[in-house]
Amino acid sequence: MFFTKRFAVSALSLLAAGFALYIAGRPGTPVLAAPAAGPAYSADGEMLPPANYREWVFLSSGLGMSYTPQGADHLMFDNVFVNPEAYRSFLQTGAWPDKTMLVLEVREARNKGSINLHGHYQGTGVMGMEVHVKDTARFPSGWAFFDFDTPASKGTLIPSGAPCYRCHQDHGAVDTTFVQFYPTLLPIARQKGTLAAAYRKDSAANSGK
């Protein structure tokens, strides 16, 4: 009797533990933000916000960068971050692995505040955010851009004919990304021989000037 009861109790607790594992591992469990390891999407194809991107690897800040002769109306900083798995892989190979996510976050450049007399610092409000993602199973060219209203909102896919793709394709130093502006990565791409032919041609032409 004693043994049977004991057996029944442990069988029950085993069942309970098994059920808890089943619930935790169920693929349909709702996700509020992308997992640390890669991109995640809603059922209608939007990108879920990469919640912890501020803990990713910082690649660079651009200040007031502009690709037209007249420049932008407001001075802005842009900050670029990449997921750590992709960064580590780039250090080894000079190339981006599948599931790379690069975040570009735009912030206002300010010059009046506290003790500052010269130069610029970043405002606390995020003015815009875009993600460049490599997901070869999902996008025909391998890469896609998503536009976010705020870092906590879902991102909208930018259609493949948009000018974003053209400029990145024609001028990005490595695989449609602007590694020429990311100082810790450019020497690695050079060393590993992964610089795009168009970029090598551009920089050879410019160095002659």
- Point out which residues bind ligand HEC (CB under 6 A): 60, 62, 65, 67, 78, 80, 102, 104, 130-132, 145, 147, 158, 162-164, 167-168, 177-178, 181
Least distance (Å) from ligand HEC to the CB of residue 123? Answer: 17
User: Distance between CA 102 and CA 177 in Å, rounded?
Assistant: 9
User: Contact, 74 vs 82, CB < 8 A?
Assistant: no
Select 37 or 65, whichever has its Cβ closest to ligand HEC: 65
CA distance 132 to 144: 6
The residue written with tokens 């009046």 in the block is: 112
Least Å distance, CB 198 to ligand HEC, is: 13
* CB-nearer residue toward ligand HEC: 17 or 167: 167
Q: How far apart are CA 170 and CA 187, in angstroms?
A: 20
Of 67, 44, 99, 74, whose CA–CA distance to 178 is shortest?
67
Q: How far is the CB of 155 from ligand HEC (least distance, A)?
A: 10
Judged by beta carbon, residue 55 or residue 170, the one nearer ligand HEC is 170
- The sign of the torsion formed by the CA atoms of 189, 190, 192, 193 equals positive
The residue (of 27 and 69) whose beta carbon lies closer to ligand HEC is: 69
Question: Least distance (Å) from ligand HEC to the CB of residue 132?
Answer: 4
CB of 86 to ligand HEC, least distance (A): 11
Residue 101 CB-density burial (10 A; 0-12 exposed, 13-18 middle, 19+ buried): buried
Closer to ligand HEC by CB, 10 or 136: give it.
136
